């Protein structure tokens, strides 16, 4: 960490600490699988192929898709596998041999299989005993491995599973030489410390030279990304995301927030093309017809919008006063709102960009006028590159 007196984030970095920074944390994007489980979403085959291309060129490590949902899901899976993208393509199926056969028919080289192993999933969903679940899981993993394929096994509802049974399952599956084990917080009930303890327990129970651990955290209380990062602090090395966080109910971590957290806070080595983030979100929203909330971090339209007069005054001198990164880094734009809170500094700036004199009297008069504006008729401006340069070079207009 460099203590450069010009770096406004330097003290925050001291509190964040350097534990696990630089550790390579991978991203699996599940927009095509978990994302399609979001109410009202169903992509066309062509859209699925385009999404795979996009997240691959963004730089994720793995892409997950379910071939068993329908014929056209299988077709999309097959076509995407044939594209020979850089990311691994995982066919996500139930822990049932006939499902694995569908994945194999699609030409999968990676199969991700899942089974609910908490007592409530075993009794209410699968209607089998723990012993039967274990036999089924081991047979399926064995079956995938006997085809020479790479495999992941998901301990669905891990956070609500009896730890003794969870450890037993993880050990047995690890012994079969599975490449990855996914530990999901399927219902989003963990707090960060809980996810840490859960993942640590799993990592300490298995031979990590054989299997690596994924975290898949649901956002029911809004803690999905915090919990995922905590799981990585405890030993996992891959986070599941979707574009805009789409998924069952309230979804999982967004690709954008995860990618920025890893790059900015964890300084994890990667070649993610962060500047694609806003466009990825825009494309998905066109495909789904769902509007991305304005306040969504990183890619929301208000993510770099400044309104209060005190904020404007500072932003006009140095945007880092209220921004942790340059919005262009993530393909977004800074916006200034000239409304009832703009104050005389904001008003003076508005006058200057309109090519008018910036004297105190006019600025105050304009600020008073702006006070009468209410939501809806507020003036909102993007700063084009010329104006952005002007801000940084000239700082705020001087009030004469």
Question: Could you tell me which stretch among 78-86, 135-143, 178-186, 328-336 binds ligand HCA (CB under 6 A)?
Answer: 178-186
- Closest approach of ligand HCA to the CB of residue 358, in Å: 55
Residue by residue, DSSP assigns 234-279 as TT--EEEEBGGG-SSTT-S-BHHHHHHIIIIIS-------GGGHHH
Among 186, 254, 268, 288, binds ligand HCA (CB under 6 A): 186
Judged by CB under 6 A, does residue 182 bind ligand HCA?
A: yes
109-138 residues in contact with ligand HCA (CB under 6 A) are 112, 114
Judged by CB under 6 A, does residue 266 bind ligand HCA?
A: no
By C-beta, is 38 or 218 nearer to ligand HCA?
A: 218
17-36 residues in contact with ligand HCA (CB under 6 A) are 34
- Closest approach of ligand HCA to the CB of residue 233, in Å: 19
Judged by CB under 6 A, does residue 88 bind ligand HCA?
A: no
**Interaction pattern, residues 243-262, with ligand HCA; x per rule: CB under 6 A:** -----x--------------
- Closest approach of ligand HCA to the CB of residue 74, in Å: 17
Tokens for 245, please give them. 């966080």
By C-beta, is 186 or 258 nearer to ligand HCA?
A: 186
By C-beta, is 160 or 306 nearer to ligand HCA?
A: 160
**Distance from C-alpha of 344 to C-alpha of 186, rounded to nearest angstrom:** 51
b/e 356-391 (16+ beta carbons within 10 angstroms → b)? eebeeebbeebbeebeebeeeeeeeeebeeebbebb
- Closest approach of ligand HCA to the CB of residue 220, in Å: 11
**Distance from C-alpha of 376 to C-alpha of 381, rounded to nearest angstrom:** 14
Residue by residue, DSSP assigns 141-180 as HHHHHHTT-EEEEEEETGGGS-HHHHHHHHHHHHHTT-SE
**Distance from C-alpha of 367 to C-alpha of 380, rounded to nearest angstrom:** 15
Among 99, 156, 244, 257, binds ligand HCA (CB under 6 A): 156
Judged by CB under 6 A, does residue 306 bind ligand HCA?
A: no
Sheet holding 305-306, edge to edge: 305-306, 335-338, 379-382
């Amino acid at each position: 960490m460099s203590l450069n007196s010009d770096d406004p984030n330097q003290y925050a970095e001291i509190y964040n600490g350097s534990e696990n920074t630089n550790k390579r944390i991978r991203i699996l994007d599940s927009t095509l699988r978990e994302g399609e489980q979001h109410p009202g979403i169903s992509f066309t085959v062509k859209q699925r192929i385009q999404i795979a291309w996009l997240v691959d060129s963004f730089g994720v490590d793995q892409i997950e898709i379910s071939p068993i949902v329908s014929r056209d899901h299988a077709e999309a899976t097959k076509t995407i596998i044939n594209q020979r993208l850089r990311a691994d393509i995982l066919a996500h199926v139930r822990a049932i041999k006939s499902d694995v056969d569908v994945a194999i028919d699609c030409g999968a080289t990676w199969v991700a299989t899942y089974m609910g192993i908490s007592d409530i999933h075993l009794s209410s969903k699968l209607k089998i005993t723990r012993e039967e679940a274990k036999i089924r899981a081991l047979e399926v993993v064995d079956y995938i491995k006997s085809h020479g394929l790479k495999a992941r096994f998901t301990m669905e509802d891990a956070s609500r599973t009896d730890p003794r049974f969870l450890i037993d399952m993880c050990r047995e599956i690890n012994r079969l030489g599975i490449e990855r084990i996914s530990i999901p917080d399927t219902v989003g009930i963990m707090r960060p410390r809980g996810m840490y303890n859960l993942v640590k327990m799993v990592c300490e129970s298995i031979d990590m030279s054989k299997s690596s651990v994924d975290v898949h955290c649901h956002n029911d209380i809004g803690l999905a990304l915090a919990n995922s990062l905590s799981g990585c602090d405890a030993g996992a090395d891959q986070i599941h995301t979707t574009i805009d966080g789409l998924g069952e109910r309230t979804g999982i971590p967004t690709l954008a927030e995860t990618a920025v957290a890893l790059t900015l806070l964890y300084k994890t080595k990667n070649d993610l093309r962060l500047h694609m983030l806003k466009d990825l979100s825009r494309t998905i929203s066109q495909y789904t017809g769902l509007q991305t909330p304005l306040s969504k971090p990183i890619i929301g339209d208000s993510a770099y919008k400044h309104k209060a007069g005190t904020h404007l005054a500072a932003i006009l001198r140095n945007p880092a006063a209220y921004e942790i990164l340059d919005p262009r880094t993530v393909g977004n734009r800074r916006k200034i709102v000239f409304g009832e809170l703009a104050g005389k500094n904001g008003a003076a700036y508005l006058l200057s960009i309109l090519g008018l004199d910036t004297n105190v009297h006019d600025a105050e008069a304009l600020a008073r006028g702006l006070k009468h504006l209410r939501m809806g008729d507020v003036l909102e401006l993007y700063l084009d590159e010329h104006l952005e340069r002007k801000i940084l070079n000239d700082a705020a207009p001087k009030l004469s």
